[in-house]
A = this chain, B = another copy of it.
Amino acid sequence: MLKATIDAEIFRESIDAIAALVTECRLHTAEDQIRTRSVDTANVAMVSLELQSTAFNSFSATAGELGLDIAKMKNIIGMMGKGDALTLTLLDEERKLELSFGGYRYSISLLDVNTIRKDPNPPGIDLPGKAVVPGDALNNAIKAAAVISDKIALGIDPDAMTFYMEAEGDTDHIKLALGEDELVALSPVQARSLFSIDYLKDMGRVMARADKVEVYLGIDHPVRFVFDIADGNGRVEYLLAPRIEAD
């Protein structure tokens, strides 16, 4: 069962965070929250999202599982006005979801959850390096690197006390180092891994809206990004596998 009302903008933010990686997902409802955890088709990246009941204007739910077509959700979001309140209601023994906003009633068939990949288990990895970075600085650095390469290195230099990103083109090289003044916080543990720009670009667009993003790093290890949505009533986590550094 689900009957909940939420600000259209918060719903948009949540769907965008998921849409950066997947086009469909299993949404789990519980008495006090909704959440999803999905990996992309290439098994390279994972997104986890939790939205507490406090993120909603009103929220009433029991434990359940919904198959969401994320691409379709993005279309519907495009119809909503800025201040709209969106009411989500499960219909027809949980086979249809109704979205009501500003006079519109939109009902959509849910996907059969058995056709969607099971929730992945989060890998147990130790990422000792940590930097807390303004979301827009992170996104700008990713966009800058994308101009010259399809790979970007993220790292922490404990001696210089900086979080840095670095990219290498055929004839050019770019490096952005953020020191203590530009960072919210830094755990100065040596770290450096190489990542695919394609994934980071989509994540970066979402993270650009976050005041601060926790970035967890190791050496040739995945990166984990964690940030709040919905004024702290929700949380998003991205995990991205590293690429092998070529000589």
Contact = CB atoms under 8 A, between A and B. Distances in A.
Interface of A: 69, 72, 75-76, 78-79, 103-109, 140, 143-144, 147-148, 171-178, 182
Nearest to A69: B171
Given A103-B178, A178-B103, A79 B173 contact: no
A173 B140 contact: no
Given A79-B144, A79-B147, A106 B72 contact: no
B176 A104 contact: yes
B177 A107 contact: no
A148 B8 CA distance: 20
Contacts of A173: 106-108
A111 to B, nearest CB: 9
Contacts of A174: 104-107
Contacts of A177: 103, 105
Contact of A107 (B78, B106, B109, B172): B172
Listed residue (A78, A148, A182) with the most chain B CB atoms within 10 angstroms of its CB: A148
A182 B103 contact: yes
Listed residue (A72, A106, A108, A143) with the most chain B CB atoms within 10 angstroms of its CB: A106
Nearest to A110: B171
Contacts of A109: 171-172
Contacts of A104: 144, 174-176
Given A69-B171, A75-B148, A108-B172, 11 more contacts: A72-B172, A78-B147, A104-B144, A104-B175, A105-B174, A105-B175, A106-B172, A106-B173, A107-B172, A107-B173, A109-B172
30 contacts: A72-B171, A72-B172, A75-B148, A76-B147, A78-B147, A79-B143, A79-B144, A79-B147, A103-B176, A103-B177, A103-B178, A103-B182, A104-B144, A104-B174, A104-B175, A104-B176, A105-B174, A105-B176, A105-B177, A106-B172, A106-B173, A106-B175, A107-B172, A107-B173, A107-B174, A108-B171, A108-B172, A108-B173, A109-B171, A109-B172
A178 B103 CA distance: 7
A192 to B, nearest CB: 17
Contacts of A176: 103-105
Nearest to A143: B79
Contacts of A172: 72, 106-109
